Amino acid sequence: MATQRLVRNLGDVEGIERQSLSALNLPQSTYHGIRAAAEKYPDRAAFLQLRTGAVDEAPTTMLYSEMLTRLHQTANLLHDLGLGAEDAVTLLLPILPDTAICLWAAATTAIANPVNSFLETDHLVSIMKSGKAKVVIGCHPSIEPTSWPRIQEIRAKLPDIIAIQVGGDGTDLEPGVIHYESAIASQPGDRLISDREIRPEDTSAYLHTGGTTGAPKLARHNHLGQLLLCANMDFFVGPPEPTVILLGVPLFHVGGVVAASLHGLCSGNTIVTLHPNGLRDPVTVRDFLANAERFGASTLGGVPASWSALLGLPTAHLDLSKIRYGIVAAATLPLEVANNVAAKFGFPLIEGWGMTETYSFATLNPLHGENRIGSVGFRFPFMQIRIVELDEDGRWLRDCDENEIGVLVVKGPQVIDGYVDAAHNEETWVQGDWLNTGDLARMDGDGYVWHTGRAKDLIIRGGHNIDPALIEEILYQIPGIELAAAVGQPDRRVGEMPVAFVQMRTGEDFDEEAIKIFVRERIQERAANPVNVYALAEMPMTQVGKIFKPALRMEAARLVLQRELTAMLKHTVAEAVVVVAADPTHGTLASITLTGSHDELTAKLKEAVRVYPVRTEFTENK
């Protein structure tokens, strides 16, 4: 889709920017970009679909000509249902070819709203109300079991919603539900029946961002921003020749939606959908590299946790020579993982940074330039980036110096112009139109950005800011550790102390003292030494493969409070149980249940925990 010009350094970025954005000759809309590729490569496979992710499973093939026909039919169905440019279509679908088709058909006729079906029903309903969704699309339980039960619950709360089911034979549908395959069969597949002229600035999608609790936060994407992301990917990792990619990222996440699905389809790539649950499925992870060899993939994507898991797989029997590079984002990449991937697999691991609000990647290390390991590369063309110091109310104080850590702010046509709910925009912008990303970073003299964590991930020990990445980089050097994360644990003296959580590789023993000694001998900042290291059987993860640090912070708080109270009750008959959870008022609340206590003892316990920087509530079972 983009030109053959390749970016090697920041000077190349600035050279592209000397021309106007229109000089890139981007397609008019996402539909036009996909259609152009389908017309250019009609007999090329658009999708190869696996159901189990196993290397011995034969794939089902869908050609680009077939994909375009299905996209036309789906868009025409939505048009016949009365949807227009201001209406939303919520998709609760796993990783399937039809998910991508429904997504881009929805963006053609209306507004696509892909959402994680694992969210609680009330949260899904809030998202749909916020986006004013008129249609919801899910799949038959035989494909993936969580999607349709959620839609059944949604229909009870939103009786006017139009429900469409993908898969099944249509014989077991509830009244009023539309069977997808049957409904599109009667629609023309050679054209769009709508006379809508899509403009580049029209809204193409509402993507949910943030956590899984609280008010829904929908980022508003337009066609121009999504297509600019695709062009910028070509500049950094091109040339844009058709290739094979393995899709393990969910199609409700911005990386799956734009960087994988849209970019892949606009480039004429063959997208291999490995399993409805992607890299969350253990068989898919086990056979990921073997499938890469089998299908001749040239690009592999994943989050740091998945790359760490892949390093533990045997590969001596595989020929991975066709893989040009691996790409990684979503969380800070440990240097040890990046170096080990290059050493073991023979291809570079290219790290970038981005967010839903930047249409996926906003920075990336260049494939044809210097891959500065540890950095997230430099900015995309037409993406403006600054590192700034903000006051406690989020107002700009000054721009940071070279290599000084501050808050990363961005603006440009590949940055959203706001959220669907205007209330979310109030604290989003700095100096008018710069988006406050909430990320901490520094920028070196060559324009490379070094991501140093989320502002809220900082461990603040007695006013001393500690970057958790300092600890995590060392932990990942320990061979037995598969996953690691450092967070702040509440402390009565200094507010927070650094602690670490680790997930050991299968068969490896956990030795807290040995880990602490290993870190202590290598840490450059004494204050960053973790006071405790905790082993977890399974690290809490988000649906897109990030380590879920809020859960670790809550567990750290629970552990320290439980330890304090248990010590105080050692010579009594009383017991205390601590539960720490997210709270809509306090953010985090520690609920403490006492059994067998008395008034004087309870008062002492309350006094003891009050000095910790955690909101608490007590319940007594006498």
Q: What is the residue-wise DSSP string for 353-366?
A: EEEGGGTEEEEE--
Global pTM? Answer: 0.83
Backbone angles phi, psi at 436, to 5 degrees: -80, 110
Cα dihedral across residues 329, 332, 338, 341: positive or negative: negative
Rg of the chain (C-alpha set): 25
High-pLDDT (> 70) share of the chain, %: 96
Contact 543, 535 (CB under 8 A): no
Co-location of 523 and 617 in the same domain: no
Residue 505 lies inside a defined structural domain of this protein: yes
CATH code of residue 592: 3.30.300.30
DSSP category for residue 347? S
Given this model, what pLDDT does residue 584 score? Answer: 64
Same domain, yes or no, for 49 and 114?
A: yes
Mean pLDDT of the chain: 91
Residues 6+ apart with CB under 8 A from 395: 430
Q: What does residue 270 show for φ and ψ, rounded to 5 degrees?
A: -95, 120
Residue closest to 407 by CA, chosen among 394, 393, 433, 388: 388
| C-beta separation of 269 from 400 below 8 A | no
Write down the number of H helices and E strands in the chain.
Answer: 18, 30
> Phi/psi of residue 156, each to 5°?
-70, -30
What confidence category does residue 213 fall into, taking pLDDT thresholds of 50, 70 and 90?
A: very low
Average pLDDT of the segment spanning 339-358: 92
pLDDT above 90 as % of the chain = 73
465 in the same domain as 316: no
Question: What's residue 122's pLDDT?
Answer: 85
Task: Over range 170-176, report the average pLDDT.
Answer: 94
The residue type of 404 is E
Among candidate residues 547, 573, 605, the one where a domain is terminated: 547
Q: Are 549 and 588 contacting, i.e. CB atoms less than 8 angstroms apart?
A: no
- As a whole number of angstroms, the distance between CA 9 and CA 378 comes to 8
Boundary of a domain, candidates 393, 423, 449: 449
| Domain range for 387 | 10-449
**SS3 of 9, please?**
coil
Cis bond upstream, residue 314 (ω within 30) = no
Same domain, 393 and 503: no
Q: Is the alpha carbon torsion for 233, 234, 239, 241 positive or negative? A: positive
**Residues 219, 107: contact at Cβ < 8 Å?**
no
Closest CA to 352 of 376, 330, 373: 376
Residue 150: how many CB atoms within 10 A of its CB? 21
Q: Are residues 284 and 427 in the same domain?
A: yes
Give yes or no: residues 616 and 510 share one domain.
Answer: no
Nearest one of 508, 507, 503, 530 to 517, comparing CA atoms: 530
Is 440 a residue whose pLDDT tops 90? no
State the pLDDT at residue 609: 85
Listing from the earlier edge strand, what are the strands of the sheet with 244-247?
60-63, 45-49, 270-273, 244-247, 299-302, 325-328, 349-355, 360-364, 378-379
Sign of CA dihedral 11, 12, 13, 19: positive
What confidence tier does 211 reach under pLDDT thresholds 50, 70, 90? very low
Domains in the chain, number: 3
Looking at 42-46, 125-129, 210-214, which range is the least confident one?
A: 210-214
The average pLDDT across 97-105 equals 98
- Of 547, 573, 592, the last residue of a domain is 547
Pair (614, 521) in one structural domain: no
Q: Which residues pair with 460 in a beta bridge?
A: 465
- Residue 214 phi, psi dihedral angles, 5° rounding: 85, 180
Q: Is residue 1 part of a domain?
A: no
Task: Say yes or no: 293 and 355 in one domain.
Answer: yes
Q: Is the domain of 346 the same as that of 484?
A: no
Confirm whether 552 is domain-assigned. no
What number of other Cβ atoms are within 10 A of residue 364's Cβ? 27
**Residue 4 belongs to some domain of the structure:** no
The torsion angle over the Cα atoms of residues 98, 103, 108 and 112, rounded to 10 degrees, is: 150
